[in-house]
């Protein structure tokens, strides 16, 4: 019972901290801010976490685990590879609607271990799922047979963080969520066969002249 209670308290802190990171960016949130947000003393906060770096690491790990679980469940219920990508687009909207533009920069510059978690998530879980989607789409006749699965999958991951690059897409000029979705749609259309394009237009409710 005590272990469950301890886990509940830690999870409450981690969820609150990650919520603040998403709102303000990681660098802008201090341990004082987290304690104030939770209406607890900083001393109590340090009872559970030795420093901010630990909070960032454990909250990032928890968030990525949730994303992986949600992604697996989402994919299992899809009708085809293109349906899968549209569902991923919906999930992407939810994810990027809450994430502050500076998060990737803050992780990489100030929290190396947490950044490594993201890199591992991207290079293992995400790369695997992207490859599976491409293979599935080829098998369903929705993606071109001449695609190099490895190259296409790695290209997709390479542009994943592009919308967060302020030098390319200044946040005061571009909506990150819209940029991310535009990049994904461009990727999807580039792989599609004629059959795939027609199905994409059906999902988008777009009518094109032959």
Residues forming beta bridges with residue 192, ordered by sequence position: 143
Domain count, the chain: 1
| Within a domain: 81 | yes
The CATH number linked to 200 is: 1.10.357.10
| Within a domain: 184 | yes
pLDDT in tens, 129-144: 999 999 999 999 999 9
pLDDT in tens, 1-55: 456 567 788 999 999 999 999 999 999 999 999 999 999 999 999 999 999 999 9
In angstroms, what CA-CA distances link 93 with 125, 150, 153, 161?
A: 19, 26, 20, 14
- Residue 139: domain span: 61-204
Task: Report, as an integer, the average pLDDT of 90-116.
Answer: 88
């Amino acid at each position: 019972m005590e272990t469950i209670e301890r886990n509940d308290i830690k999870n409450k802190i981690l969820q609150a901290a990650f919520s603040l990171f998403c709102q303000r960016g990681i660098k802008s949130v201090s341990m004082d801010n987290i304690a104030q947000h939770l209406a607890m003393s900083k001393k109590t906060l340090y009872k559970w976490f030795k420093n901010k770096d630990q909070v960032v690491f454990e909250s990032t790990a928890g968030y990525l685990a949730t994303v992986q679980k949600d992604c697996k469940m989402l994919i299992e219920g899809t009708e085809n590879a293109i349906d899968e990508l549209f569902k991923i687009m919906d999930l992407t909207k939810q994810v990027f609607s809450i994430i502050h533009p500076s998060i990737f920069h803050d992780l990489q510059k100030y929290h190396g271990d947490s950044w490594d978690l993201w890199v591992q998530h991207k290079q293992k879980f995400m790369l695997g799922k992207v490859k599976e989607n491409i293979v599935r789409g080829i098998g369903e006749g929705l993606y071109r047979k001449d695609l190099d699965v490895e190259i296409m999958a790695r290209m997709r991951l390479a542009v994943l963080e592009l919308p967060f690059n302020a030098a390319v897409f200044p946040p005061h000029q571009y909506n990150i969520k819209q940029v991310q979705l535009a990049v994904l749609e461009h990727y999807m259309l580039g792989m599609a066969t004629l059959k795939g394009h027609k199905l994409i237009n059906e999902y988008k409710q777009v009518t094109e002249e032959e």
